[in-house]
């Protein structure tokens, strides 16, 4: 019996991906573990390995195809001893999408010889490479309405918005309601009935439609550039963050004179390789990462993530650092940054930044984390506020260091000052607690020798 090769889920939140390239063609034999294709997500390009052995009988989704839903059939594999032509002919006449799994009294354990097996993504870590999330149904409703297929994230966002998920029109696979549908429903679009908000809930003004926006401009005076997956994901996540996380902001000015002097001295003393190039060159951002990591350890009640069932208190400081890339940004994570030297942090960030811009980061390298840092100092930005990236409870916005006039002991002096602003999730962190965290950061960044203790 032919084996269906399905579009894999390369991360827990992936719902669609682009089939960038086939590395095998029809008629090629494959073994388990062979790399057969490259899949693009909104953040990275990853290789996909075959699970079963056989011959590729038919490729159903050509390379270059965008927005292929998870679990769609992308190719068919003829098993050993099976006629390749007949398997390919049968695949050509079959619908390209995977059929939903039928309800059965008792599920049978899956085996490697299953007729429909998803390929194994590489290099996702085992904890992230579990089976693709299947559409889930809500319990039958007392009003007799049919069950609604929806993702766990969509159900949570709908609950927080006070919207009945049954009223939302789904755009995911098989009509499944996904997070994007909830975001549209909050703006008044995609609802099956005009009334969606419960009594007492604040009304959300509907967003302007595409037609309303374009009507404001002269025809021919613009061009429309379609959104790619990264831009859509950024818009979706940050819109949800701004609507569901109660932000408050704390700003402090930090005297980084000692830090700049220490950085210059450390870089001058850095060991050199055979070509007499320094093995590392510390940046101000490396000190910021280290200081934030230690500050979270000193104020552990800020090293948290909010969930409805309880507060998640993290043992380690996993610091996400925003990296700009074509079309958007990504936040690779320095794990256990409090335990790493400045040289190690610097080396790891250079590696992450290079691979991020080439979209070669692994999901486990940019998913999770306990806080994040966004540094726009290199663009001359003095100060700004940043939007928290869930599941973080904080994000630190870092401005440029510049010479400013300060008063010391009654005298006006020049000092190198850097403004930083801490955004906090008020559900998890109160004002006084946030003040303790940014105060601990200020003490460390102004006295970098304390990071070595």
| Nearest of 329, 365, 351, 336 to residue 11 by alpha carbon | 365
Q: What does the alpha-carbon distance between residue 257 and residue 240 come to, in Å, rounded to a whole number?
A: 39
Catalytic residues: 426
DSSP string, 124-192: --GGG-SPPPPPEEPPPPTT-PPP-EE-HHHHHHHHHHT--GGGBPP-SGGG-B-HHHHHHHHTT-SBS
Q: In this structure, what token pair is assigned to residue 321?
A: 């650092």
Element (H, E) at 290: helix 284-298
Q: Looking at beta carbons, which pairs linking 236-244 to residues 24 or more positions away fall under 8 Å?
A: 236/179, 236/180, 236/183, 237/389, 237/390, 238/387, 238/389, 239/183, 240/157, 240/179, 240/183, 240/390, 241/387, 241/388, 241/389, 241/390, 242/387, 243/161, 243/186, 243/204, 244/157, 244/160, 244/161
CA distance 53 to 30: 6
DSSP state of 452: G
Cα separations in angstroms, 51 against 24, 36, 72, 131, 374:
14, 10, 16, 13, 40
16 torsion bin: left (phi>0), alpha (psi -120 to 50), beta (else) = beta
Q: Are strands 328-330 and 323-325 parallel, antiparallel or unpaired?
A: antiparallel
The tokens for 93 are 């006449």
Instruction: Give the Cβ contact number of residue 422 at 10 Å.
Output: 26
Q: Alpha-carbon distance 220 to 212, whole Å? A: 16
C-beta of residue 418 within 8 angstroms of C-beta of residue 378: no
């Amino acid at each position: 019996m032919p084996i269906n090769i399905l579009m894999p889920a390369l991360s827990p939140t992936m719902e669609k991906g682009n089939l960038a390239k086939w590395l095998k063609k029809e008629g090629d034999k494959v073994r388990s573990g062979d790399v057969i294709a490259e899949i693009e997500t909104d953040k990275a390009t990853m290789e996909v390995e075959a699970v079963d052995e056989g011959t590729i009988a038919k490729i159903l989704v050509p390379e270059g195809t965008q927005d292929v839903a998870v679990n769609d059939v992308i190719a068919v594999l003829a098993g050993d001893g099976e006629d390749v032509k007949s398997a390919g002919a049968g695949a050509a006449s079959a619908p390209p999408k995977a059929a939903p799994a039928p309800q059965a009294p008792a599920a049978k354990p899956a085996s490697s010889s299953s007729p429909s097996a998803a390929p194994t993504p590489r290099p996702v870590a085992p904890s992230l490479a579990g089976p693709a999330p299947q559409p889930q149904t809500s319990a039958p409703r007392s009003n007799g309405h049919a069950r609604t297929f929806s993702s766990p994230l969509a159900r949570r966002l709908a609950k927080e918005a006070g919207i009945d998920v049954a009223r939302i029109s789904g755009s995911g696979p098989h009509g499944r309601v996904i997070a994007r549908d909830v975001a549209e429903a909050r703006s008044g679009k995609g609802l099956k009935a005009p009334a969606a908000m419960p009594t007492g809930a604040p009304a959300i003004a509907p967003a302007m439609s595409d037609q309303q926006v374009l009507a404001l401009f002269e025809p021919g005076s613009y061009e429309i550039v379609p959104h790619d997956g990264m831009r859509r994901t950024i818009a979706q996540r940050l819109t949800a963050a701004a609507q569901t996380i109660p932000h408050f902001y704390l700003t402090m000015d930090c005297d980084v004179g000692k830090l700049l002097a220490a950085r210059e001295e450390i870089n001058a003393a850095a060991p050199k390789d055979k070509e007499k190039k320094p093995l590392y060159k510390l940046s101000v951002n490396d000190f910021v990462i280290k200081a934030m990591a230690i500050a979270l350890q000193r104020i552990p009640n800020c090293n948290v993530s909010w969930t409805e069932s309880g507060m998640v208190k993290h043992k380690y400081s996993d610091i996400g650092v925003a990296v700009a890339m074509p079309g958007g940004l990504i936040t690779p994570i320095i794990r256990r940054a409090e335990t790493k030297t400045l040289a190690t942090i610097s080396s790891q960030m250079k590696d992450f930044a290079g691979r991020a811009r080439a979209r070669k980061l692994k999901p486990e390298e940019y998913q999770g984390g306990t806080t994040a840092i966004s540094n726009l100092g290199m663009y001359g930005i003095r100060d700004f506020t940043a939007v928290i990236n869930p599941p973080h409870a904080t994000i630190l916005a870092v401005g440029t260091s510049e010479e400013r006039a300060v008063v010391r002991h009654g005298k006006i002096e020049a000092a190198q000052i850097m403004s930083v602003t801490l955004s906090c999730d008020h559900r998890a962190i109160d004002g006084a607690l946030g003040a303790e965290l940014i105060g601990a950061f200020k003490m460390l960044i102004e006295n970098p020798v304390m990071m070595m203790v």
